[in-house]
Chains A and B, each alone.
Chain A
């Protein structure tokens, strides 16, 4: 008979802090778990705002020569939509997931700088408020890329552009501070035995996310500051008639803008790399290759920005170089997809909602990756750039590489955060609506672009089949929205009536599942010694070994933090 060994709590604090009560404690919290929750709730609200903007766009485009909104409102809508989704949803949602789970996955008590962590959140909120306040006056209407001269004071006299600039500064600072925090946490606070080669893959991607932010954000901060002085203090950085250049803006913006897209999808890839092994019941195929390709993508991502500028008057040498660097970056990205398929291969796949979202993410992202090769080929790009072909591409890569993984992460990690499972029925419904909604909305947009419809146009004529194709796309967008709604309802209900999860409902591989659901304030009473990149799996098999293989299917349950396994 195995003897139960009582846990020896480790004293990690000299004063036992009482967890704050009431809503005011949330305002002053520095606990990474509470900050993570606030991030996730706030960014999801922005997701819904951005999604509403998208539905309005699709309603306007649902018929040719439509008059639902004016050109001014339409331009504001797509500007708000793009800016919201990038700066107020995807990037900070990844920070929210990282905030909650990165310390847990490395066995840490909190982030390296808890107060700085709180600052990150409040800066994000401030940025969102400043940006959306412009809705009551004049929202920006120069697109999320704010090309000059359109965005300067002559052609965008209203304050909307300034609201956009302040958003970039505030959310940029939020992200920069957060990035430093993530890096310092991983560098210094890993559990004993967790070498760099045993980091969970989600942590690897949050690390590269952080490095990319640190390197790219200062450039866009400089660019928008130059735009601010151009608009209000008479500088001429971008004014050709005074010796400046509009092309300078494009270079500066895209030098940040391209790494930004990897900032958005790399953590999504990390989520996929965590979830697939759990539900296929086998290890990730090629841990080293996936970690290496993450770093390679991050590095190469700094060399490809000019592929957003193929139609601008730039030297041919740049066109050639950037086409080749863009092709090159397709290699590690494609390899990752093959590693994921190989992870599923010869597994015993459990079709739970987190797995469905990740498998769907791979399928969707692949389509975006393939259309990316067309866009990287600059003579082809000359035909399809700035058309709905690009809109299709960007939505496939972002929905596949970031949004679907975020939903997968929500279903995977909700039990850890709240102690309750999300409903499987609603979860599957949400997945299928979103998956097919994405396909119906965006596949046809490739054709719309090939048929000659540019992007950022508030209306189009009734020529060819544009009316039919746009209608199909609009219908798809509402199916996608219904899928999102299903998850919102699921979360709302499950908070009250969801099945109690326990510490490790999925029989997963990483350390966050070693503690209770939800975790106590101090995360771990005991941090186990880490011996591989799948520490929880090792703990489970060790417990099984010591207790003689207790329950069915060889899976032993581990009471949260209750053993001295590995110490």
Chain B
């Protein structure tokens, strides 16, 4: 029985549970839902009652009322007050949804966030300014994630992965969302809201996962024929495991690049072409 209320509520509320921003959005949603239900039952109830009670009956005469100014002003003010209350609540909760907290003590060791020079919506940073910055690149039809750890100043050599984003638990992750071609939208429901990846723009969001787990998401704006398959998973692992994975990923990429360079050289040799630049 104790499972009944949460599962009933889950029917009516968005995904949540893995990151504070999703939690806070869900609780804002719940308050809005309770107000909405009250209004729904009151007005639909009034309509239904009127239809039943004031059916045409023998001998009944319709009351020729043209209006009631006090009543009309009253319900206009009441509607405005309800919406004002909802607006105040939303702005009170906004910071907990938009502003990332500091990473937890068990989180990964982080450097300062990069110095960002793009004209775009302001990137929100936690109080101590330390985030794990991950670039999310959308393209038809696969997400690419670029992690910190570039060899070179212009960002080359950083480890990356496709489709699966690996992150350490207890760490504030800040996503820098961009697109290489059309508009995409990054969305992992349990980790917060969705944000468009627009070519020429940077869009930002954050999340912080407390326990290891796997969270599914997908592109959330029409981007072409493969839109339905542009999925993403976020895999949260303990920080030590993350560091190990990152190092291994970097190594695997370096090995693959070396193999590719060798294959290029062989190809150039076979075809007699000039040496081809390695990618």
Residues on A lying within 8 angstroms of B by beta carbon are 71-72, 75, 141-143, 147-150, 155, 240-241, 245-247, 280-283, 285-289, 311-316, 320, 323-324, 327-328, 330-331, 334-335, 337-339, 341-342, 344-351, 359, 362-363, 366-367, 370, 373-374, 377-387, 447, 450-452, 454, 456-460, 463
- Complex contact A335–B79 (CB within 8 A): yes
Q: What residues of chain B lie closer than 8 Å to A385, measured between beta carbons?
A: 193-194, 220
Complex CA distance for A286 and B201, rounded to whole angstroms: 49
Cross-chain contact A311 with B185 (CB below 8 angstroms): yes
Residues of B within 8 A of A313 (CB): 120-121, 195-196, 198, 201-203
Q: A330-B79, A348-B61, A450-B15 are in contact. Are A383 and B194 (CB under 8 A)?
A: yes
A484 to B46 CA separation, bound complex (whole angstroms): 28
Asked whether, in the complex, the Cβ of B201 is within 8 Å of the Cβ of A247, the reply is yes
Contacting residues, chain A, for B97 (C-beta < 8 A): 379
Which residue of chain B is the closest to A289 with respect to CB atoms?
A: B72
B54 to chain A, nearest CB (A): 5
Q: A313-B196, A379-B94 are in contact. Are A155 and B80 (CB under 8 A)?
A: no
Name which of B62-70, B100-108, B149-157, B256-264 contacts chain A. B62-70
Interface size on B, residues (CB 8 A): 84
Interface bits B204-239 vs A (CB < 8 Å: 1, else 0)? 000000000000111111111111100000000000
Say if the beta carbon of B1 comes within 8 Å of chain A: no
**B198 to A380, Cβ gap below 8 A?**
no
B50 and A311: CB pair below 8 A? no
Report if A245-B94 is in contact (Cβ < 8 Å); known contacts: A331-B83, A335-B79.
Answer: no
Residue from the list B40, B62, B185 in contact with A347, Cβ < 8 A = B62
Distance to closest chain A CB from B277 (angstroms): 23
Among A246, A339, A450, the residue within 8 A (CB) of B12 is A450
**B36 beta carbon closer than 8 Å to chain A:** yes
Q: A348, B56: Cβ atoms under 8 Å?
A: yes
* Residue in contact with A334 in the complex, picked from B11, B79, B195, CB distance below 8 Å: B79
The answer to whether B76 and A335 touch across the interface, beta carbons within 8 angstroms, is yes
Whole-angstrom CA separation of A352 from B12 in the bound complex: 35
With A and B bound together, what is the CA distance between A331 and B76 in angstroms?
7
Are B194 and A341 closer than 8 Å at their CB atoms? no
CB-CB < 8 A to B55: which residues of A?
348-349, 351
Q: How far is the CA of A339 from the CA of B74 in the complex (A)?
A: 12
**Given that A155-B182, A311-B195, A366-B43 are contacting pairs, would A240 and B76 also be in contact in the complex, using a CB cutoff of 8 Å?**
no
Q: Is B4 an interface residue (CB 8 A)?
A: no
User: Is B270 at the interface (CB under 8 A from chain A)?
Assistant: no
Residues from chain A with a CB closer than 8 A to the CB of B25 are 379-380, 382-383
Asked whether, in the complex, the Cβ of B54 is within 8 Å of the Cβ of A347, the reply is: yes
Q: A359-B47, A379-B90, A458-B228 are in contact. Are A286 and B36 (CB under 8 A)?
A: no
Q: Is A246 within 8 A of B57, CB to CB? A: no
Determine which of A71, A142, A288 lies in contact with B228 in the assembled complex, contact meaning CB atoms within 8 Å: A71
Q: Out of A149, A316, A327, which one reaches B182, CB within 8 Å?
A: A149
Within the complex, what minimum Cβ distance (angstroms) separates B99 from chain A? Answer: 12
